[in-house]
Chains A and B, each alone.
Chain A
């Protein structure tokens, strides 16, 4: 099933990423490496800049008018913020799944899957195969295979989110960014998305923001803990193997957070 659509994963890394909104700095000197085929979880209390950081990785951050940025984001060694690099090309290689499911309401399930290719102006060869492969990879094929022409909004919330994942997968990204993809979903849908993430890591690099400690432990290979003290920009307090970070954290603040003492 996963024939030509399986991409090579890429290594993503950031060098001294700092982020501003207007005059207010929200992130300072973030240095992280996301090795190919690894799942990285970003954890931390609300408002510490995890989602903002995620959006710098596929140049969605710059769509906010007051946004500012310093540092470099390297995709296989190439800085994606270099003037010669087109944001659209970056977004094609680095896919994104949002916190709230956002299928296109005027399109059918099938059209949603194909929308990415259409919107980015790429040729679609063998649409049927692509639709099936993408839906299978997002483990939703069996639920929708008989109703591909139905409106995407006729699906349940969990199904819509998996449809959005399938939509990103149809683009065959090298990196997939997920911004709290399960925060609005029930445990059943959450479990299936987690299984999907595990399977996908064979073919791509995944970065996932989550508020769920158990989820981070279940799905990720490495974890970064973000924290922003009051009125100071967010920083990465600790970054390492997920096992180590949860079981033998070095920083006491990490220990407090992962054990639920604050946040």
Chain B
């Protein structure tokens, strides 16, 4: 039985739709295959203009000017989102395709101690870089997330006149080029005679993560209705309890998003790490002493090599980084899910 009477269409409409969606593609394909046109010229120069005209005519026939606008809007949004999706998927695809060749169990857990530029992929791996990335990111997160949330709390809950200043500084910090953050820490290191370590790397990532966390957390706290705070205070809650037991839980999923976006901001950062902790071919588990490897710097170091086995390693490391981020995001999403209270059966 048809329960969507508004979705019915006439036979003429169906034929028109079929023609609209096939003719321009066919013409474009003819030009490329038979006419020897370049693919991109076939797409942009032949297919696109014909498709726009055909879609326009189709819309006009359906409902004059109103139909023309609708049809063009639908076409352009679909076309460009597909285009972007294809681009993103091809980046992802090439990392997976190239990286997969390097992937093997020992690639995950071994380090690079005995690996040279031409060493076969049967030896060595990114284990040390994975551990390094985890340690450095963890150090940054431990410092930046509580501070970022604290800033968000200040910006949303306080009545102070300093809020404007704090917000402006945070926002301009968000535009800081990451290499400058690295240079700043490098300068501090020169000045204080601090040697390269995981800690200096984490320090360089800190100003990059902080504003992201603060801004996103601020947005999510701002979305909590003022009613809830009032309700809590009217029940005799002191401010801190109203915040921790009512406002913060209500903003939980937004806070998790803040954490995720903060992580996404730093986990792939390369320049600051090259400057402040650089590369290490062996496993270093002490973030307070000695250079520390990380996945992005690993990719950077090996991708520059002219030897194919080194390049393969770089692709492999990039894939591992992608998987790492995927796991991180998946876990955080599960943790941040709204507490699912049991839904009882309807009892009579």
Which A residues form the contact surface with B (CB < 8 A)?
58, 60, 63, 65, 88-89, 91-92, 95-96, 98, 100, 102, 104-106, 108, 115-116, 118-121, 146-147, 149-151, 154, 164, 167-168, 171
Contact B344 A88 (CB under 8 A): no
**B229 CB to closest chain A CB, in angstroms?**
9
Would you give the 0/1 interface string for B66-82, flagging 1 where the beta carbon is closer than 8 Å to chain A? 00000000000000000
Contact A65 B159 (CB under 8 A): yes
B36 at the interface (CB under 8 A from A): no
Contact B230 A60 (CB under 8 A): yes
Q: Which of A92, A104, A108, A149 contacts B236 (CB 8 A)?
A: A92
Closest to B227 in A: A102
**In the complex, what distance in Å separates the CA atom of A171 from the CA atom of B233?**
13
Contact B341 A149 (CB under 8 A): yes
Chain B residues near A149 (CB-CB < 8 A)? 341-342, 344
Contact A146 B246 (CB under 8 A): no
B325-348 contacts to A, CB under 8 A, are 338-339, 341-344, 347
**In the complex, what distance in Å separates the CA atom of A42 from the CA atom of B153?**
37
**B341 CB to closest chain A CB, in angstroms?**
5
**A22 CB to closest chain B CB, in angstroms?**
14
A-B contacts, CB under 8 A, total: 84
Contact A89 B236 (CB under 8 A): yes
Chain B residues near A96 (CB-CB < 8 A)? 234
Contact A102 B344 (CB under 8 A): no
Q: Which of A63, A98, A116, A154 contacts B343 (CB 8 A)?
A: A154
B34 at the interface (CB under 8 A from A): no
Closest to A103 in B: B231
Chain B residues near A102 (CB-CB < 8 A)? 225, 227-228, 230-231
Q: Which of A88, A92, A98, A108 contacts B231 (CB 8 A)?
A: A98
Contact A121 B234 (CB under 8 A): no
Chain A residues near B245 (CB-CB < 8 A)? 115, 118-119
Chain B residues near A167 (CB-CB < 8 A)? 235
B29 at the interface (CB under 8 A from A): no
Task: Supply 30 A–B pairs (Cβ within 8 Å), ascending by A.
Answer: A60-B230, A60-B234, A63-B230, A65-B159, A88-B238, A91-B233, A91-B234, A92-B235, A95-B234, A95-B235, A96-B234, A98-B227, A98-B231, A98-B234, A102-B228, A102-B231, A104-B228, A104-B231, A104-B250, A106-B246, A115-B245, A119-B232, A119-B236, A119-B237, A119-B241, A119-B246, A147-B344, A147-B347, A149-B342, A151-B341
Closest to B225 in A: A102
B242 at the interface (CB under 8 A from A): yes
Closest to B343 in A: A150
**In the complex, what distance in Å separates the CA atom of A89 from the CA atom of B232?**
13
> Assuming A146-B347, A150-B341, is B234 touching A104 (CB within 8 A)?
no
**In the complex, what distance in Å separates the CA atom of A77 from the CA atom of B236?**
21
User: Given A88-B238, A104-B228, list of 18 further CB < 8 A pairs?
Assistant: A91-B233, A102-B228, A104-B231, A104-B232, A105-B228, A105-B250, A115-B232, A119-B235, A119-B236, A119-B242, A120-B236, A120-B237, A121-B241, A146-B344, A149-B342, A164-B231, A167-B235, A168-B234
Chain B residues near A151 (CB-CB < 8 A)? 341
Chain A residues near B252 (CB-CB < 8 A)? 106
Would you give the 0/1 interface string for B50-92, flagging 1 where the beta carbon is closer than 8 Å to chain A? 0000000000000000000000000000000000000000000
**A87 CB to closest chain B CB, in angstroms?**
9
Closest to A168 in B: B235
**In the complex, what distance in Å separates the CA atom of A65 from the CA atom of B163?**
15
**In the complex, what distance in Å separates the CA atom of A150 from the CA atom of B234?**
24
| 7 pairs of A and B residues whose beta carbons are closest in the complex | A120-B236, A119-B237, A92-B236, A116-B235, A146-B347, A106-B249, A102-B227
Q: Which of B233, B238, B339 contacts A106 (CB 8 A)?
A: B339
Closest to A65 in B: B159
Closest to A119 in B: B237
**A53 CB to closest chain B CB, in angstroms?**
15
Q: Which of A108, A120, A147, A154 contacts B235 (CB 8 A)?
A: A120
**In the complex, what distance in Å separates the CA atom of A108 from the CA atom of B233?**
19
**A102 CB to closest chain B CB, in angstroms?**
4
Closest to A109 in B: B341
Closest to B347 in A: A146
